[in-house]
Structure 1
Amino acid sequence: MLHEFKKHIDLKFQNLLEEPFLLACSGGVDSVVLVHMCSELQLDFSVAHCNFKLRGAASDADEAFVKDLAISLNKRCFSRTFDTIGYINTQKVSLQVAARELRYAWFSTILKENNIATVVTAHQADDNLETFLINVSRGTGIEGLTSIPEKTAAISRPLLAFSRDEILNYAQEHHLVWREDESNKETKYLRNKIRHTIVPHLKELHPNFLNNFLKTQTFLGQTALLLDVHIEALRTTIFKKEKDIFKIEIDALEKLNPLKTYIYLLFKPYGFHDASAIISLFGSLSGKELLSPTHRLLKDRNFFLVQEIKGSTPNFYEIKEGETSMLYPIHLKKEVVLSMDEIAPNCLYVDARTLKYPLIVRKAKIGDYFYPFGMQGRKKLSKFFKDEKYSQIDKENQWLLCSEKNIIWVIGKRVDNRFKISPETKEIIKFTLYNE
């Protein structure tokens, strides 16, 4: 198996030959074999062990065993004890989810602090089969059928090509010692029930069942890749990027068939997984929105707008009389000039006598109005936004320059008539808006 493992590393995991990595070791047979083979190949790695404190003295014995194993191989060992039960109680998650979140959060910290690019885990072929069956039992799409990926940006799983029997045979042939987790024999957990009661019967159906399953996984992965290419090409066509917003024509979405599948695949990268909820927005009023953990999806007339959710920004800033520039939230330059030398949307000229300091840069509020230059009378800002065909996101992103409660400038768009230059103007203030 060591020879096959080396060929597998050379072919698919060149990164493990070129860079140091972190190897997660529980002390069980899979991870012990992985540690042994990586050591035999003289790969550069450190060992990491998680003590979840779930089995009393046995958990502590696992930790001691892994530390001794690392010492015997002259490898650095990271170990950490977790309050897993406390995490479950505070986060309201299952044991499996808690262990996964705690484990990978800690691994990420180790990688960052030690300039390591990859963590290597001991998932193997039988784990992949069990995950496949778990996903099928719960209902899944093609991403669930392709099961555990061999490699991601930060995780490598070089044992996925090898079965539990192959790993056990290797351990016995090399007289390796490992720790047995007695809880793995309990069938009250879904994975263990599948492992001990279902998988053995499946393997009885055909002597090459596991190998055939791995071939099926390869075919499914290739199909998923083709689907990804198709969806990405479609997304490029339909999702139009405007600054930091994607604008999507709803009519183009409604023509897709099967609609629900397309909607799910198109919007999944933005954290939206309920296709029915998105479809329900097709006929809704403008302003209706859905939120994912990372993005907002807003209905705006005949379009959807998708915007990343970023940290909240204050909506109120001051410019004091002596200040000549503002760098945040917008880049605004203020200067005294002799004449209106440049007429452009990003420039504003006002009569200095009309300004009351400190000037205010803020977002729109309900009831705002101004006196648009070139028009008679006043106009509600909301009506101005509507006439200019502002989207909801455009409205939220629009900054106003104000003197006390009066709007001087809908910045970059329209000046207020009350602050215009007149024959009586003695001092001209010029404001210039820069993109950077």
Structure 2
Amino acid sequence: MAPSKSVARRDAELNPRTKTYEFLGPPGALFVTLSVPIMTYALYFGCSEHTGGCPPPLSSETIVASLSDPNWWKSLWDTEATLMYLSWYAFCVAAWFVLPGDWVAGVPMRTGQKKMYKINAFSTMLLALGLTGGYIWRYGFESFTFIYDKWVGLVTASILMSVIQGIGCYAASFRPGALLALGGNSGNPIYDFFIGRELNPSIGYFDLKSFNELRPGLILWVLIDISMICEQAVRRGGLEKVTDSMWLATAFQIFYVLDALYNEPAIFTTMDITTDGFGFMLGVGDLAWVPFVYSLQPRFLVFRQNELGIPAAIAVLAVNGLGYYIFRAANGEKNDFRNGKNPKNLKYMTTERGSKLLIEGWWGKSRHPNYMGDLIMAFAWSLPTGFETPITYFYVAYFAVLLIHRQMRDDENCEKKYGKDWHRYCEKVPYRIIPYVY
């Protein structure tokens, strides 16, 4: 009995009970758990040629009639789409195991250990693109339009996968020796299921959180964009007739994903990996929200085809280029500094803990300049859709709320970590994201 009591005592010391809530506690967690799937469906039914437009001419009577019809609920399920999604997920898992890749150490955990991560997301992306390109070359553009046709069924499958993983990870987190997230051990099952109870749920060396963060959803986002190009090419009579707006919207998004996967090691210093547990919040975000909400603009451009013209296209390119430059330059400064490098000889302040905080360069302009670059790029992704509807700008509004929430969480954690030094740092860098604005 003595060893089990010792293990229990060690686990209790290593995994203290969470005493503060985010998202307004369990009621807020329950609301987000239900609202994210609902909003994912709503963004399809509220902006689709199959329902009549963006937005369609809906009334409260029409909505109530649909929700009261069992056939409408049955239409959300598509067995073939589910099998396609499961095959895709299995492909990503197999690629993780089969493709070669370096092993990179993450940041030190509370145990003093560093988790090792396999780096092969970019090669997985290249393999997926190669297979997709070969399939389209062999069978034609019309063969890869099935994602557009089976959108709702694929959404349902991705949400189902998120729920299953959320429940499985929550149940597995109660095994002895599990390292829990400091914010996910409240004791309330609704909240802990949503926020993520275990920090790094893994099967052997296979880390579920980092895998979901970079592979199934992000790469599927690219394949969705390619499918939208194929759908428009079929409708317009050839690839050469695809609109410049479609090319721009998809190119921006595909490049964004390629860049993220190429710089895979950078993710291991983010809050998602170092601080948050893996629960339904990250699962549904990675697997359903990212691929099926972030691709709204290309899907819109399938049935609202828009030719920008050269001047407008150049302007949109410039906006995206500005955002990308800020995003990459800021992240480059941060990653160099965290790795003990300072090629620009930027000024920094040293805290009582011995930590060093940049106060010059992009990180002297705001405390989260990379978020500013992200927001500018998000705006550029929506510009090709024109100004016919505000729905295609949903991503910009949502992303702004998400980044502000992340900034507030990060600042709160830094205040706890650095104390009065954080207040001194905020005096030197007063702006949170956008200089002179916020």
TM-score by length of 2: 0.24
Specify which structure has the higher proportion of helix.
Answer: 2
Specify which structure has the higher proportion of strand.
Answer: 1
Larger radius of gyration: 1
TM-score by length of 1: 0.25
